[in-house]
Structure 1
Amino acid sequence: MGKSEVKAVREPSRFLLWSPAAVLTLFFSIFFGGQSIVSALESSLPGAEYDWGVLLLRDGKHDDARKQLESEFRGSFKIATERWLDSICISAMLGETHYQMGNHAEALECFNTALRLSIQHSDWLTLVQNVPNPGMFTLKPVPWGDPNPNRGLLHIPEKFSILFGDLNYGMTYRTGGVAVPPSLKSIRGPEIVRCTMLAIRRRAELLGPLGAGDDLTSELMTRLGQTQRALAGTWFQAWLELEIGFCHLALGKTDDAAQSLMRGASINGNAHLFTPLAYIELGRLQMKAGSYDKAYSLFLDAATIAYYYEDIESLTEAFEELACAYFQKNPQVICPSLARAAEWARSEKLAYLYATLQALRADDFMRFRQARPAMECLALAEKTIGKRAVSMGRLGASLHYLRARIAFLDPSPNSQQLGMTSLMQAMMFMQKGAVWNFHIQQVDFRLLNGQLTTRKALEAYELLLREPTAGDWSMDPMESLAVSMTPRPGTWENFFLCAVDMERKDTALEISEKARRAAYLQTLDFGGRMHSLRLLLESPESDLTVPQLQRKRDILTEYPLYEQCSKEVRALQMKIRQMSLPVTERKEGVELTQALGKISELTRQQEAVLSAMVLDRRVIDVVFPKVRTCEEIQASLPKGEAMLVYYAARNQLFLFLLNSERLAMWKIVDSGAGAGSSRKNKATGNVLTSLQTNFVSMLKEMGLGAGNIRPTIFGETKWKTASQRVMADLTKNSQADFSRADFDSLVIVPDRFTWYIPFEALQIQTAKGPRPTIAQFAVRYAPMASLGTPWKQTQLPKSPYTLIASGKNAPGTKVQNRLESALERPVLFEEKSYGGILPGTPGTASSIYAAMFDKMLVFQDLRNDEGAAYQIFPMGFDYGVKEGSLGYWFLLPYGAPRLVVLPGMRTQCESILKKAAKRSGSSSRQTAVPGQEFFLTSMAFLANGSDTVVLPRWNLEGTAPWRLTTHFLTQLPENENSAQAWRKAVLKFATSEIRPESEPRIAKGDDLKSISCSHPLFWGGYVLIDSGSGSLKTREALGNDDAEENADGNIGQPQTRPKPELEEGADEERDPDAPAGAALEPKAEEEIPEETEPADAGTNGPLAPLPPMGGMLPDSEQKSPAQLPPMGGALPLE
């Protein structure tokens, strides 16, 4: 095609201007002799250079095709500056090139251009002269089967002649405007219609839920309807009907679309050039409806008809859908059409189609785990595309995904590593190339730019941020996996704020729960899919739903090796639990390490089985964590218990306070919980917020953040004032009043830096004066609100053993013996003895043997990489051995100690204090999200079977952690749940004193002989994570009952080791009747009314009455806040 441009005529021909007879002659020649004139015109539009770009696209040379089409677009036919019909084709095919390469934003813009041009020239079919009469094809066998003998196929000429220009040319010239002499132009009408349909369909796919109500699509459909009415009685109506049907699909009107597509799929009962496109969309609708037989027939017909019309694009799309439908229709048989179609594509040298068909064949073989033929097909596809640009696009990603699936069938480490490498290459493309991800990006973009209302954004997010369904996985597993693996914290915050703006508090809480789950799962392999698969197969049946139980049974039936290994692992674990630990004889030690080594080998086989199925099309439900609705969470809260939930979004901290009947929500504006505060200190440039400033000040006044702690700090009370400020910040703009609470148990769900706030030590005003929160409530924490109340059927542990790992600053034998006396079968792990396990032998990593213990108490200094997830080594002794990191605890064997106490774990709390003191903006950057180590560590232990986890905000070492843990273990059998036991332990511990020399962090040199433990430094730094199930009490109570009933000995249980006798004065605890000047409370512990309710509990409290959104107290109840002096320090956050 020549690169011509028709310009406005400045000096028209004298003959045309002054000879009316000549004008009439031209007019009649156009209408009665058009065909003879067309033969003398230039070549049809779009021309040969456009065809060359399409051929490059079909050959898989997408970069060359893009450059060719861009060049053609720049030189396309124009009327002055306005583009004409050929630009519709060029824009659509340029968009297809971008689409195949995953450049969806560029593709959408190209399809937008094509639709705008289609609207501008929507009446072009009415200008076609001498409408050709279609002929008929002579049917012949297709390579993959015989055609339907009753089907007729219309043969429609490729070129049409169209009236071009202005019949009122002279008048236009005299009155001004673009004057184009009338003439006939040759166009390729079917190609223009095909590209218009392509633009409508691809654009609808890229817009997703945003396509409903799209103005551009609606306008195009209106114009097409007008043109259809103007062409009543012609076979053009079928083409227009299809275009209208595709517009209905884009607008989400599937019923209207199906009717239009069925009407337009034939002309007088015969198929035509665009019948394949209609059948493809009708087949997709049948797939969604579950009618796989009908869908397969439609796709097969579409491929057959496209073959006759040499429509390679439709042929490729039809076979992609056909393979999926055949899998659903007949899952026990290899699809027979793919091999014959691939051989034909090879003979025709259609590289892109051939590679696609070979990829489909490889996927078909993988349904039956036939690695060898799948690998042969994959090799042919990779060889075909070679180094073509398409290898970096959608097809290339599909081949990487297939290679990963094949590699995962081989359990060897090299093959597994190759599989992970191939999968990561596929996911690198899919993070930008997945259409589902693009839908989410479009909603984010339009919402933040004011192009989308809050209500529509909320509806779109509800659809797009769902967990991939069984239909999603069966249709496109690679897309579903990409969505699961793509982190999008900003999107979840947008979703949450939409619910807040619409004052839907319950929905906002549920969204925050889903956001936490997504944040957790996306730190795991395969977006948590492998983790969910392990839990599906290993969780007790009582914790699974009926559909999950059915899937579990189907998998175990399909993979009997897994169940066989599981039985052997359980038998070996039972054998180890019946051993007497720690072992003292070498023979017993060898037997123990051999059993552990066997467990390690069996679980490797199980992991190989899981790898073989993890990329299948099967859906795997998220077993942990289960997200509950707001109503379910409230129903699970017992009377007398409340829950405080934090959620940080867009530099705002939102708080929810709920009980079984009521729900309140408020926010702390500019709390600094998110990134980028708008309020900064002009002198330092650090972020300053009231909550963070007071929080940092409180910790500093407690003696943290400045190296060794001065003993004199324990006699100061400035931290109390700062803690009151923190509480005031947390309850600002709310009716929450913890001093008049109508509950005695509080569950806290922190987020971001609020994990570091020692809520137990915050001062609340009571009738008896300021008191720490721990003196009023039993406080426990949870990483999610859904996990804050009992969420599983508690399984009683079968092991009597407790693992104790002491650190380098271990206390004396008196303190250790006191701890061991509170346990049934303590096993002390030291670097040399290693608990009787031979170090360096298979299976001796903590991720293997820790599941053998009921409790795990690790007083080691546990280093933690702030920038990486699960890099803590829970045992400490195997630091640096990758199998000892927390990340390996997710691997089989499933299980973890029921109680985990890690007082030596390092966190960001004190490092944040140090960074807050720095004035340089560059030095205040953090390497990890604040609070991430708490959230991920607690989720990891809970996911693997732990019920209670105790983590520190700051490290103390010395005797204090040992003594507080001892009090906790002593209180467990006597209290309703772990939170009540912890509260009693803290109050008991606070009445004691401690020697400064026994605590490494307390500076030496003062003459103090003892320090009161009532200071929150000793007890306020621990986070008790528990669901309130009371499982620890249950175990201890049953243990005591069993000991009484089986006094003569237990069959099948190891003999109980005699507990050491305590020496007098082993603990430096004060007498409870001693003066309470330095105690936790103004009065002795026994004077604290722990179980009584306030007199006004039924009429007042944090939840009564229910406040409006962001509401304030009534004027009669408001108190003027005291003017507090500003405190120094800033908390810089990423």
Structure 2
Amino acid sequence: MSSIRPINRARAILDLFRLEISSRSCARSAVGFAVTLLILTAGFFAPRSLHAQGTGNRTLPGDVYFAMFGPYYDGDYASCVRGFRDSARGGLVSIEGRWVDAICYHTMMGESYNQMGDLTNALDQYTSACKLFLAHRDWLLRVEFPPNIDAENNPRVAITWGAPTRPLKIGRFPEKFQVLFGRIDNQQAANQGGVIAPPSLRPVNVLEIARCIAVSIRRRGELMGPTCEHDPLTGQLVDALARRPGPPNHWAQCLVEIQYGLALASANKSVQAISELQRGLLAGGVLDHPLTSLALLELGRIAFDQEKYDVALTYFMEATYSAAWFDRFDVMEEAFRQAQMTHIISGQPGVFAPAVPASAWAKSKRLRTMNVTLLTGLAENLFVTGDLNNASATIGQARSNLGRGEALQGTMGCRINYQAARIQLAQGNNLGGGTSLVAALGYQRKASPGLFQIALADAMFTSGGVTERLADLLYANVLREPRPRDWQLDPLEVIAIQSTPHPIPMEHWFELALSRKELEKALEIADRIRRHRFHSVVPLGGRLLALRWVLQAPKELLDESAQLQRQDLLNRFAAYDALNQQATAARTALEQLPLLPPDDADQKKQLELFNQLGQVSTGQEHLLNQIALSRAAADQPFPPLRAVKDTQKDLPPGSLVLAFFQTSRNLHGFAFTNEQYAYFTLESPAKLKAEMMDLFKKLSLYDRNAAVPVEDLASDAWKTPAAAILKKLSNGAGAEDWAKYKELIIVPDSFLWYVPFEALPLPGSETGASLISHLNIRYAPTMSLVLGDRRGQKPLSKTAIVAGKILPREDERIAAAVAEQLATALPGSTVLTGNTVAPGSLLGTQFDRLVMLTDMEETDKLPFGWSPLQLDRGKPGANLSDWMTLPWGCPEQLVFPTFHSPAEYGLKRGGNGDEMFLTICGLMASGSRSMLLSRWRVGGRSTADFVREYSQELPHLPAADAHRRAITLLRGTSLDPREEGRLRAPATLEEFKPEHPFFWAGYMLVDSSAYVPREKAKPAAE
């Protein structure tokens, strides 16, 4: 196809054939005769092979193409992909390639893929359509448009669902126009040996091609989201359409104006887009045309995004009226869906009035997908207004009307499943609701625009398609924390994004910040990655957890926004508030009883209260599942997000934070105090891990139950790999550096969770003193939890002590004796053995401290499938996953010296640290803020004494001080080797001192309760 402006040039050449004609009508007849004469003559002499292939004089696109719209409106999208692809075989193909009619085939294949959730293929098709347009951007100049369009005087559409608010004057547009193909002047080609392209006129459905160009531009912007404005093709579309490639000063310019407006909107230029779209609404400034409804729909979307809901609703409804005249049922369907959502989000009372008559109209026209969309929206509307029975009947009708065809497996089926899940859960049908939700969420994860845009943004950065500055902005947008409006717009989409791990794009954002020397930002991004790592493995991507925290956590843990959300949720969901008051009353009554009531009456009362608390909490959880699927906003308070500067500002003098973060390529280290900040990269993480395994071997960590020869524990061979490890993890810090600090706070990652920092030798120490002998050491799962929260410690706390057998061959009397000693030292303590009156998830709300003196479960149950109470293991309500549910609030302090980790096998059985991180986050998400966990279990008198000394000081000292004090005392104590179940010693050995780190370096303190405002800080007790 020639790139000349063919209409103007053809008319200039045809002037040579014109006779002297006085009237304009006669002139047009003469022109037509001359064109026909030229075409016939050129066609007679032109070689047959140079004509367009395989199309004859049929209208483009052909009948096969239009025949697929029936199945499309019926929801047979997979069949439509095949059908539209087959129809492309009848498209126009010349020596210059495919013509613009192919835009239609690509666009409708894209629409079909889009409805099936195949966004990658959909975008490919829309992109191909846009590129074809750019290759033939002047195609409208070849169209023989009439100078004017008449108005439609015989209305054939009865609008039953409302009344237009703007003058609705419909144009009577022909289905096809004549388009000039080839060249009228082929002399130069003939003389110079070029290709001769004889002129010809073909009937073309110009308005359908123009519509498909507009649809592809719009859908491309919709799918690409914030990445679209940075894609080169978007700029090319804007530039091409800014030149107004259509007949000048002609009614057909409305087609270009709408396409231009959509291109501007996809380039995030909404103000200019609105102007162009409004200009193109009317052909010749008077008549609605086939693209008017699409422009109104886009204007409605822009107004909706600006939260101008009244304006948006008006535009959406006007789009349905105009679309009905031109049989644009796809636009009608989308406009109705957007209008229904606008009605709900804007808080309009009652049911969206047009829904019922519009559904009846769609049914009468046999427009299945439009009818189903209207019924699905109506079902949500009825549900929101409290009409549960009619909502259930309506969603059932929608499912029945959709049938079991292809549409059920696509976006439409997903929407039905999602609303069905909400309704079924509200009806108490948890099994049906869960099944529907699983189906909806499974589809949304593969069809999520948000996840698709994350991948697009990441690909733009890694391919060098955008600058680092723009990449940072894109990552910040697509990887943002959910905003209240995100929950308003599409809760299922937010849940899908939050519950789907996407670590690689987040890592790239982290590495981008490092490359730009934004070290603080990099550490904050690392915290977001850890946070996402936790949220992606808990139910609904952390949505339920967020609601529990917003509704139940102490106010000290919530910011102002979350506290306002609590009030709003309690006002909106009165049934939950009523149950919450019942739960509070039951907990208050239980607190008045001893943990183990001595008399039968109190035991019976306690059992009744726990049963009541369990029933009420179950009811609250059922309501939370319903709220979670609603459009209600709830921030995610845990793990918190905190700026590095804020953490530094509140960090006490003398405290050093070492935060590590492992990516797929490197292991990164960050070190900061209240005044300084440093970053370093750890070379060869694999070598570091090998040194760790060597350290564990020299610490005699082979098997969790193996006896260790006393001779092995007399060796100092472990100090060599330990010193090398500390040198790497501290970036070569020397003795003078460590002398500045009184506290070390570590934020581990990956296998560094197993490193016993307590045992690592202090550089420059002549005696080989360990770090714990010089400073306090504690750990935090994220940088934002380094300082912990502002909850005050209860003056009178309750302690539960679980006594049993720590080692398989150990005498239970040791643990029992220690338990009694500890109970005596800690006022308010109760020793628990045997069966419990309630599962740990309920019982744990009645004490503030839990001390474990019995063996715990294997690591294969981590992170959430093990029982923190142990006495109820294997029973309902026992696992950590149950502790994270209501009633919220597990013990604030946990002492687990029998916890197991892969370190006790020397990492020979693997271990990437995730089970430690997730377990700790799970415990803290349940309300705990201080945990003593063992990396390897020792048992015996040494463990018993350590636990006693540590626990009895918790009411009086910060946990880190108590931890260090207990280790110091243990190392100076003389023990009987016969009371150490894991020690193999000669019978002649009567006592020994547990100075070897095997006995004390495995106790890891994870603590976020050590926060004290700097101005009130007091020195820790010796």
Q: Same fold (TM over 0.5)?
A: yes
Alignment match, 1:1011 = 992
| Superposed CA offset, 1:798-833 (max 9, x none) | 6534333333533525434332232112222222xx
SS of residue in 2 equivalent to 1:753 = helix
Q: Please give the alpha-carbon distance, in whole angstroms, between the structure 2 residues aligned to 1:581 and 1:28.
A: 101
Q: Which moved more, 1:365-374 or 1:881-890?
A: 365-374
Judge conservation of contact 2:701–2:903 (CA < 8 Å) in 1.
no
SS of residue in 1 equivalent to 2:877 = helix
Alignment match, 1:287 = 304
Q: Please give the alpha-carbon distance, in whole angstroms, between the structure 2 residues aligned to 1:582 and 1:330.
A: 51
Percent identical pairs in the alignment equals 27
SS of residue in 2 equivalent to 1:951 = strand
Q: Please give the alpha-carbon distance, in whole angstroms, between the structure 2 residues aligned to 1:34 and 1:291.
A: 55
Compared CA separation, residues 652 and 300, structure 1 to 2 (3 A): same
Q: Please give the alpha-carbon distance, in whole angstroms, between the structure 2 residues aligned to 1:443 and 1:149.
A: 41
Compared CA separation, residues 856 and 479, structure 1 to 2 (3 A): same
Compared CA separation, residues 563 and 387, structure 1 to 2 (3 A): closer
Superposed displacement of residue 1090, structure 1:
9.8
Written as runs of structure 1 = structure 2, the 5 A alignment for 1:701-740 is: 701-706=698-703, 707-732=706-731, 739-740=737-738
Alignment match, 2:6 = none
Q: Please give the alpha-carbon distance, in whole angstroms, between the structure 1 residues aligned to 2:641 and 2:969.
A: 37
Q: Please give the alpha-carbon distance, in whole angstroms, between the structure 2 residues aligned to 1:361 and 1:581.
A: 51
Judge conservation of contact 1:161–1:187 (CA < 8 Å) in 2.
yes
The structure 1 residue matched to 2:270, chosen from 218, 241, 254, is: 254
The structure 2 residue matched to 1:405, chosen from 401, 415, 422, is: 422
The structure 2 residue matched to 1:307, chosen from 324, 327, 343, is: 324
Q: Please give the alpha-carbon distance, in whole angstroms, between the structure 1 residues aligned to 2:165 and 2:737.
A: 82
The structure 2 residue matched to 1:91, chosen from 90, 106, 122, is: 106
Q: Which moved more, 1:799-808 or 1:281-290?
A: 799-808
Q: Which moved more, 1:283-292 or 1:40-49?
A: 40-49
Superposed displacement of residue 795, structure 1:
5.8
Q: Please give the alpha-carbon distance, in whole angstroms, between the structure 2 residues aligned to 1:890 and 1:883.
A: 10
AA of the residue aligned to 1:145: G
Superposed displacement of residue 75, structure 1:
4.3
Judge conservation of contact 1:731–1:737 (CA < 8 Å) in 2.
no
Written as runs of structure 1 = structure 2, the 5 A alignment for 1:589-738 is: 589-671=603-685, 689-706=686-703, 707-732=706-731
| Superposed CA offset, 1:319-342 (max 9, x none) | 111111112334322101111111
Q: Structure 2: where are the runs of 5+ without partners?
A: 3-12, 20-26, 41-54, 1013-1017
| Superposed CA offset, 1:67-92 (max 9, x none) | 11122224422003600121011011
| Superposed CA offset, 1:1037-1094 (max 9, x none) | 9xxxxxxxxxxxxxxxxxxxxxxxxxxxxxxxxxxxxxxxxxxxxxxxxxxx9999xx
Q: Structure 1: where are the runs of 5+ without partners?
A: 1-5, 8-19, 672-688, 839-843, 916-925, 1032-1036, 1038-1088, 1093-1134
Q: Please give the alpha-carbon distance, in whole angstroms, between the structure 2 residues aligned to 1:30 and 1:426.
A: 64
AA of the residue aligned to 1:395: M
Written as runs of structure 1 = structure 2, the 5 A alignment for 1:431-510 is: 431-510=445-524
Q: Please give the alpha-carbon distance, in whole angstroms, between the structure 2 residues aligned to 1:122 and 1:1030.
A: 65
Q: Please give the alpha-carbon distance, in whole angstroms, between the structure 1 residues aligned to 2:987 and 2:72.
A: 82
Alignment match, 1:577 = 591
SS of residue in 1 equivalent to 2:968 = helix
Q: Please give the alpha-carbon distance, in whole angstroms, between the structure 2 residues aligned to 1:959 and 1:343.
A: 80
Alignment match, 2:139 = 124
Judge conservation of contact 2:800–2:832 (CA < 8 Å) in 1.
no
Q: Which moved more, 1:438-447 or 1:192-201?
A: 438-447
Q: Please give the alpha-carbon distance, in whole angstroms, between the structure 1 residues aligned to 2:405 and 2:427.
A: 29
Written as runs of structure 1 = structure 2, the 5 A alignment for 1:1021-1100 is: 1021-1029=1002-1010
Superposed displacement of residue 215, structure 1:
1.6
Judge conservation of contact 1:576–1:592 (CA < 8 Å) in 2.
yes
Alignment match, 1:44 = 59
Written as runs of structure 1 = structure 2, the 5 A alignment for 1:220-259 is: 220-228=237-245, 231-259=247-275
Superposed displacement of residue 710, structure 1:
1.8
Alignment match, 1:782 = 780
SS of residue in 1 equivalent to 2:921 = helix
Alignment match, 1:848 = 842
Q: Please give the alpha-carbon distance, in whole angstroms, between the structure 1 residues aligned to 2:819 and 2:848.
A: 19
Compared CA separation, residues 806 and 452, structure 1 to 2 (3 A): farther
Alignment match, 2:345 = 328
The structure 2 residue matched to 1:985, chosen from 947, 953, 966, is: 966
Compared CA separation, residues 176 and 478, structure 1 to 2 (3 A): farther
Alignment match, 1:875 = 869
Alignment match, 1:559 = 573
Written as runs of structure 1 = structure 2, the 5 A alignment for 1:131-530 is: 131=146, 133-138=148-153, 141-148=158-165, 150-169=167-186, 171-228=188-245, 231-267=247-283, 268-411=285-428, 415-530=429-544
Superposed displacement of residue 557, structure 1:
2.4
Total equivalences in the alignment: 975
AA of the residue aligned to 2:873: Y
Compared CA separation, residues 182 and 962, structure 1 to 2 (3 A): same
Q: Please give the alpha-carbon distance, in whole angstroms, between the structure 2 residues aligned to 1:217 and 1:699.
A: 57
Q: Please give the alpha-carbon distance, in whole angstroms, between the structure 2 residues aligned to 1:461 and 1:257.
A: 25
Q: Please give the alpha-carbon distance, in whole angstroms, between the structure 2 residues aligned to 1:558 and 1:862.
A: 43
Alignment match, 1:754 = 752
Output the TM-score relative to the length of structure 2: 0.91
Alignment match, 1:32 = 32
Q: Please give the alpha-carbon distance, in whole angstroms, between the structure 1 residues aligned to 2:574 and 2:444.
A: 33
Q: Please give the alpha-carbon distance, in whole angstroms, between the structure 2 residues aligned to 1:1004 and 1:369.
A: 73
AA of the residue aligned to 2:831: L
SS of residue in 1 equivalent to 2:296 = helix
SS of residue in 2 equivalent to 1:726 = helix
- Residue 67 of structure 2 corresponds to residue 55 of structure 1: no
| Superposed CA offset, 1:919-945 (max 9, x none) | xxxxxxx5xx62122212221222222
Compared CA separation, residues 561 and 807, structure 1 to 2 (3 A): farther
SS of residue in 2 equivalent to 1:714 = helix
Alignment match, 1:822 = 825
If asked which structure has higher relative contact order (CA below 8 Å, sep 6+), I would say 1
SS of residue in 2 equivalent to 1:875 = coil
Compared CA separation, residues 491 and 864, structure 1 to 2 (3 A): farther
The structure 2 residue matched to 1:539, chosen from 547, 553, 559, is: 553
Q: Please give the alpha-carbon distance, in whole angstroms, between the structure 2 residues aligned to 1:111 and 1:50.
A: 17
Q: Please give the alpha-carbon distance, in whole angstroms, between the structure 2 residues aligned to 1:125 and 1:944.
A: 65
Superposed displacement of residue 966, structure 1:
1.0
Superposed displacement of residue 636, structure 1:
1.9
SS of residue in 2 equivalent to 1:460 = helix
Judge conservation of contact 2:376–2:395 (CA < 8 Å) in 1.
yes
Q: Please give the alpha-carbon distance, in whole angstroms, between the structure 1 residues aligned to 2:36 and 2:193.
A: 32
Superposed displacement of residue 788, structure 1:
1.1
Q: Please give the alpha-carbon distance, in whole angstroms, between the structure 1 residues aligned to 2:888 and 2:135.
A: 64
Judge conservation of contact 2:75–2:407 (CA < 8 Å) in 1.
yes
AA of the residue aligned to 2:830: V
Superposed displacement of residue 783, structure 1:
0.7
Superposed displacement of residue 964, structure 1:
0.7
Compared CA separation, residues 858 and 157, structure 1 to 2 (3 A): same
AA of the residue aligned to 2:168: R
AA of the residue aligned to 2:829: P
Q: Please give the alpha-carbon distance, in whole angstroms, between the structure 2 residues aligned to 1:170 and 1:882.
A: 89
Compared CA separation, residues 184 and 816, structure 1 to 2 (3 A): same
SS of residue in 1 equivalent to 2:860 = coil
Q: Which moved more, 1:632-641 or 1:575-584?
A: 575-584
Alignment match, 1:1002 = 983
The structure 2 residue matched to 1:78, chosen from 87, 93, 108, is: 93
AA of the residue aligned to 1:83: R
